[in-house]
């Protein structure tokens, strides 16, 4: 039995799939993952076969794909839908299921491939706020204008669906027609389906049941990471009190360059009397002087690292939020895009940290946020919530998926 997993996006869109894949393999399934070519090394280390999809995601995000520097959304979406379709269609024939997440055009292409091949399809979301519900409003879409009279959540979700149809409907339906599939009216609901998986922790990102969707909340899909921390990082950690970690993953910070952000975050942490551990990431955080209270790391085992820091300052990706919460590390979230404001709100509501006011950290604003995160009561609350974070989400999802496959067969 073969299961095809599909995602197109940054590390936060790929990492959970490397948590699900080994669980499926342990239950006897063969797994192939369609993902951006950037992640070949990650998937190789996880023992998961890769089928590359589309352009390297970092090159696309930074405008470095030749010929795509000035491409519009519809052009990118059309190509990405087709590329995802071709990749999935090439490996999914005869498979037991296709599970897809990430960029909407890519997921639409994956859904079309599953449909064309007659293969069961599951959409997965890593955050509750992406899924339509009367209990919360939708995330704003780029270019969407909300009429002044529309305030209720149901009305906002209706507008969200209309906007997605206007923005991407023609593109996706043109592709569907080209491969012999009929066009669909509501592309969002067609791609999401009425029975999606929600790979988010029930305490950190709870789902309130609705009559519209039958959501299967499994818990976050966590890949166990047993890598040791680098020797030089271990030496830095051992040389003094717990540092504050600052890293923004696959995000570039809006409104400032790398040097400005580096100076702001280092000064903010120093103001709190703490040492600084910078995660360089796509924001290119770097040292601003030669003082020995600051250290820079690249990609490391955050599961191990976050248990040894005083607080974590980050962008608010679902995976980083969950990793920090599981480690019991107080958080400051500096949200940039997508679901990141949602996670900032949840961290604040739970009392395990706070959201930063705005996407661009300044020394004074971040220092104020850090005072909240470093307060003893925040640390105690973070430690308590850490005990509730589920670690079996990927296992639950794998079992649920295989049960669904068995029933459909």
Q: What's the CATH number of domain 2-222+391-408, 3.20.20.70, 3.40.50.2000, 3.90.78.10, 3.40.640.10?
A: 3.40.50.2000
Q: Identify the pLDDT of residue 75.
A: 85
- C-alpha 283 chain-centroid distance: 17
Residue 56 — pLDDT band, cuts 50, 70, 90?
A: very high
> How far apart are alpha carbons 369 and 332 in whole angstroms?
7
For 17, 19, 20, 129, 382, the CA distances from 396, given in Å and listed in that order, are 13, 11, 9, 21, 25
> How far apart are alpha carbons 354 and 378 in whole angstroms?
9
**Within a 10 A sphere around the Cβ of 70, how many other Cβ atoms?**
7
| Chain segment 371-402, per-residue pLDDT in tens | 999 999 999 999 999 999 999 999 999 999 99
Number of helical (H) and strand (E) elements in the chain, helices listed first: 16, 13
**Within a 10 A sphere around the Cβ of 387, how many other Cβ atoms?**
9
Q: According to CATH, where is 3.40.50.2000 located in the chain? A: 2-222+391-408, 231-386
- 332 or 68: which carries more pLDDT confidence? 332
Among 57-66, 115-124, 337-346, whose mean pLDDT is lowest?
57-66
| Chain segment 234-277, per-residue pLDDT in tens | 999 999 999 999 999 999 888 789 999 999 999 999 999 999 99
Q: Which residues contact 223 (CB under 8 A, 6 or more apart)?
A: 15, 16, 18, 19, 22, 46, 394
CA-closest candidate to residue 366, choices 286, 267, 281 = 267
Instruction: Note the pTM of the prediction, 2 decimals.
Output: 0.95
CA-closest candidate to residue 179, choices 244, 111, 99, 235 = 111
With a cut of 70, say whether residue 350 has pLDDT above it: yes
Q: Identify the pLDDT of residue 63.
A: 82
For the chain, the maximum distance between any two Cα atoms, rounded to a whole number of angstroms, is 64
> How far apart are alpha carbons 150 and 376 in whole angstroms?
42
With a cut of 80, say whether residue 141 has pLDDT above it: no
Residue 409 — pLDDT band, cuts 50, 70, 90?
A: low
> How far apart are alpha carbons 190 and 19 in whole angstroms?
26
Q: Identify the pLDDT of residue 146.
A: 78
**Which 3 state secondary structure label does DSSP give 212?**
coil
Structure token pair of residue 333:
């979230």
Superfamily (CATH H level) for 231-386? Glycogen Phosphorylase B; (3.40.50.2000)
**Within a 10 A sphere around the Cβ of 151, how many other Cβ atoms?**
10
Q: What is the mean pLDDT of residues 301-311?
A: 98
Q: Which residues contact 345 (CB under 8 A, 6 or more apart)?
A: 355
With a cut of 90, say whether residue 298 has pLDDT above it: yes
Q: Identify the pLDDT of residue 187.
A: 97
Q: Identify the pLDDT of residue 69.
A: 64
Any idea how long the chain is?
A: 409
């Amino acid at each position: 039995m073969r299961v095809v997993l599909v995602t197109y996006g940054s590390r936060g869109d790929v990492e959970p799939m490397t948590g699900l894949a080994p669980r499926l393999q342990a239950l006897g399934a063969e797994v192939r993952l369609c993902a951006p070519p950037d992640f070949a090394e990650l998937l190789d280390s996880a023992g998961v076969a890769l089928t590359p999809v589309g352009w390297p995601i970092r090159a696309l995000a930074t405008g470095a794909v030749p010929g795509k520097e000035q491409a519009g959304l519809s052009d990118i979406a059309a190509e990405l839908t087709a590329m995802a379709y071709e990749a999935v269609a090439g490996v999914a024939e005869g498979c037991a299921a296709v599970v897809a997440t990430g960029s909407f055009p890519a997921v639409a292409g994956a859904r079309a491939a599953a449909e064309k091949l007659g293969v069961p399809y599951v959409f997965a979301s890593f955050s509750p706020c992406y899924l339509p519900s009367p209990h919360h409003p939708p995330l704003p879409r780029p270019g969407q204008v909300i009429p002044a009279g529309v305030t209720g959540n149901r009305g906002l979700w209706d507008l969200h669906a209309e906007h997605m149809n206007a923005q991407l409907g023609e593109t996706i339906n043109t592709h569907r027609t080209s491969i012999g599939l009929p066009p669909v009216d509501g592309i969002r609901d067609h791609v999401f389906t009425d029975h999606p998986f929600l790979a988010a922790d029930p305490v950190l990102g709870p789902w309130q049941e609705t009559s519209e969707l039958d959501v299967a909340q499994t818990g976050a899909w966590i890949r166990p990471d047993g890598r040791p921390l680098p020797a030089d990082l271990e030496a830095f950690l051992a040389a003094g009190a717990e540092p504050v970690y600052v890293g923004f993953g696959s995000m570039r910070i809006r409104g400032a360059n790398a040097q400005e952000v580096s100076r702001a975050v280092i000064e903010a942490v120093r103001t709190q009397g703490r040492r600084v551990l910078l995660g360089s990431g796509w924001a290119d955080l770097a040292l601003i002087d030669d003082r020995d209270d600051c250290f820079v790391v690249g990609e490391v085992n955050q599961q191990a690292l976050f248990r040894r820091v005083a607080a974590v300052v980050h962008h608010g990706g679902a995976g980083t939020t969950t990793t920090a919460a599981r480690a019991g590390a107080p958080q400051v979230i500096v949200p940039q895009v997508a679901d990141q404001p949602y996670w900032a709100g949840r961290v604040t509501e739970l009392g395990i940290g706070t959201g930063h006011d705005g996407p661009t950290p300044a020394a004074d604003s971040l220092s104020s946020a850090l005072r909240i995160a470093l307060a003893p009561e925040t640390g105690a609350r973070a430690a308590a919530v850490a005990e509730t974070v589920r670690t079996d989400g990927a296992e639950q999802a794998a079992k649920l998926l295989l049960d669904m496959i068995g029933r459909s067969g």
